[in-house]
Amino acid sequence: MSTNRPFVLSIAGFDPSAGAGVLADIKSFEQHQVYGFAINTANTIQTENEFVAI
């Protein structure tokens, strides 16, 4: 039996630590067995402890 995985779109900012934004969304999509696509709305410069700039 073949099961098709649905496609999901995330529209969010990019957090390089993957704690939020499109990277976190894509990780969640994988857990729910859906294919994820992302539209990046902003790039951030940050670490887990400090936000520097957008």
The predicted pLDDT at position 26 comes to: 93
Beta-carbon contacts of 27 under 8 Å, excluding residues fewer than 6 positions away, are: 18
Residue type, 43: N
pLDDT in tens, 1-17: 567 899 999 999 998 88
Q: Residue 47 — pLDDT band, cuts 50, 70, 90?
A: confident
Per-residue pLDDT for 50 more than 90? Answer: no
- In the predicted model, what is the mean pLDDT of residues 19-45? 93
d(CA 46, CA 54): 9
Regarding pTM above 0.85, the answer is no
- The mean predicted confidence, pLDDT, of the chain is 88
Answer yes or no: are the C-beta atoms of 22 and 38 closer than 8 Å: yes
